[in-house]
Amino acid sequence: MTNQLDHCLTDEQLRQLADAAAQFDLDGVEQHLDVCPDCCSRMGAIEQDAEWCEEILPVLRDAETIQELHASGAGHDLDAQAALRLLGPTDEPQYLGRIGTYEVTGVVGSGGMGIVYKTFDRSLDRFVAIKMMHPHLATSAAARQRFAREAKAAAAVIDDHVLPIYSVDQWQNVPYLVMQYSGGTTLEKRVATQGPLDVPEVLRIAMQTAHGLAAAHAQGLVHRDVKPSNILIDGTVERALLTDFGLARAVDDGSMTRTGMIAGTPQYMSPEQAHGDQLDHRSDLFSLGSVMYFMLTGRSPFRAETTMGVLNRIGHDAPRSLRSINPQVPVWLEDIVLRLLEKNRDQRYQSAQEVAELFGKWLA
């Protein structure tokens, strides 16, 4: 049972909801929006969508149920089962079902926005990955816009270290992306399985990720959600691939300048992102530094028991010394990571290309 909020939502919280990236407890939000015309009006101004409340309330109702199921360990199963029910019939017994003309061979994983399938494209005789939006999110205009933004942003970036998107379509009114299939794993899972990585591997993955970021930045895009689970390690050639441009925005996008907007994963966001300030490409470099810290230690640099605690640490605290956790880290590498993690973005490296070239020299 939930309790109605006894206060109005802040503009920051409303913007997180509009971007389908809320990082706060949803309990009570539904009841409050039902009875608070002021919050609905302010949200409508943010979204420029007078029907926002009608669209978001069903999502919040479902999200509260999802939270309860996740607490009992059943949330992933619920989403997977709902997505599997969307599959069309197939004539081939070795497949789970069909999405459009694609034969589904298995489920790769599930994230905040959607579930990823491994599928077979008969027309081109190859395997591809399909990312389908979670059915319970498909009713939200904000979520659909974010999903479409991921496709447009990633499609604009052509680089060996950015996972390409081939096409966008929908099945039974649920949108999906068709992407390159990578038989590898995420960086997050790699470190969870193997522990901290050795220095050459850290440099190689960081260099390749920086190349992917440089390509995105050259298109005027800020990724805004660089984290270990958004970096794929291709199993065939040990190549890092940057994924999930769902939060990416053009630098000249007016929404990037909204004071108080917070979107992204707290543990890896930059101080300016945590504070809701205007972002530029250097925010991604801070996140890359946090990812490197994770690769070298097995933990994120700014940890706390609550989201607000994490955000406060990002803005004010220095991370624990890398070498105190992992004595195998060279002093010069710790210095590089600490420069990437400078609170003042003017004190960081100023471009992803510069960082990629630096790592390339150390690997030579």
Residue 3, in any domain of the structure: no
Q: Pick the residue with more confidence: 158 or 293?
A: 293
β 126-133/174-180 pair status: antiparallel
β 102-110/97-99 pair status: antiparallel
- Model confidence at 306, pLDDT cuts 50, 70, 90, reads confident
Whether pLDDT at 74 is above 50: no
Same-domain check for residues 199 and 321 = yes
| Residue range 338-342: mean pLDDT, rounded | 98
Same-domain check for residues 256 and 168 = no
Active-site residue, 253 included: no
C-alpha–C-alpha distance, residues 341 and 335, integer Å: 10
Domain that holds residue 150: 76-180
Whether pLDDT at 106 is above 80: yes
- Residue-wise pLDDT for 118-136, tens only, equals 999 999 999 999 998 888 7
State how many domains the chain has.
3
Q: How many CA atoms lie within 13 A of 87 on its CB side?
A: 24
Residue 81, in any domain of the structure: yes
Q: Pick the residue with more confidence: 254 or 151?
A: 151
Annotated catalytic residue, options 79, 225, 234, 244? 225
Residues in the chain: 364
Q: Pick the residue with more confidence: 30 or 210?
A: 210
Question: What confidence score (pLDDT) does residue 41 get?
Answer: 61
Q: Pick the residue with more confidence: 148 or 301?
A: 301
Same-domain check for residues 158 and 190 = no
C-alpha–C-alpha distance, residues 23 and 348, integer Å: 27
| Average pLDDT of the chain to the nearest whole number | 80
Burial per residue of 309-328, b for 16 or more beta-carbon CB atoms within 10 angstroms, e otherwise: ebbebbeeeebeebeeebee
Whether pLDDT at 194 is above 80: yes
List the structure tokens of 61.
Answer: 């109702």
Same-domain check for residues 59 and 26 = yes
List the structure tokens of 154.
Answer: 């990633």
C-alpha–C-alpha distance, residues 63 and 69, integer Å: 10
| Residue range 202-221: mean pLDDT, rounded | 96
Q: Pick the residue with more confidence: 185 or 81?
A: 185
List the structure tokens of 188.
Answer: 């997050």
Same-domain check for residues 265 and 355 = yes
| Residue range 320-346: mean pLDDT, rounded | 97
- Model confidence at 183, pLDDT cuts 50, 70, 90, reads confident
Question: What confidence score (pLDDT) does residue 263 get?
Answer: 52
Residue 190, in any domain of the structure: yes
Of 143, 163, 180, which marks where a domain is finished? 180
The pTM (predicted TM-score) of the whole model is: 0.74
Residue 359, in any domain of the structure: yes
| Residue range 287-308: mean pLDDT, rounded | 94
- Model confidence at 147, pLDDT cuts 50, 70, 90, reads confident
Among 39-48, 112-121, 214-223, 259-268, the range with the most confident prediction by mean pLDDT is: 214-223
Residue 5, in any domain of the structure: no
Same-domain check for residues 207 and 321 = yes
Question: What confidence score (pLDDT) does residue 49 get?
Answer: 42
Residue 6, in any domain of the structure: no
Containing 207, the helix (H) or strand (E) segment is helix 199-218
Same-domain check for residues 209 and 273 = yes
Same-domain check for residues 278 and 257 = yes
C-alpha–C-alpha distance, residues 152 and 156, integer Å: 6
| Residue range 72-98: mean pLDDT, rounded | 70
CATH number at residue 134: 3.30.200.20
List the structure tokens of 280.
Answer: 């530029």
DSSP per-residue codes, 277-305: ----THHHHHHHHHHHHHHHHSS-SS--S
- Residue-wise pLDDT for 3-58, tens only, equals 556 677 776 676 666 554 444 555 556 556 656 766 766 665 554 443 444 444 44
C-alpha–C-alpha distance, residues 212 and 154, integer Å: 11
Question: What confidence score (pLDDT) does residue 236 get?
Answer: 66
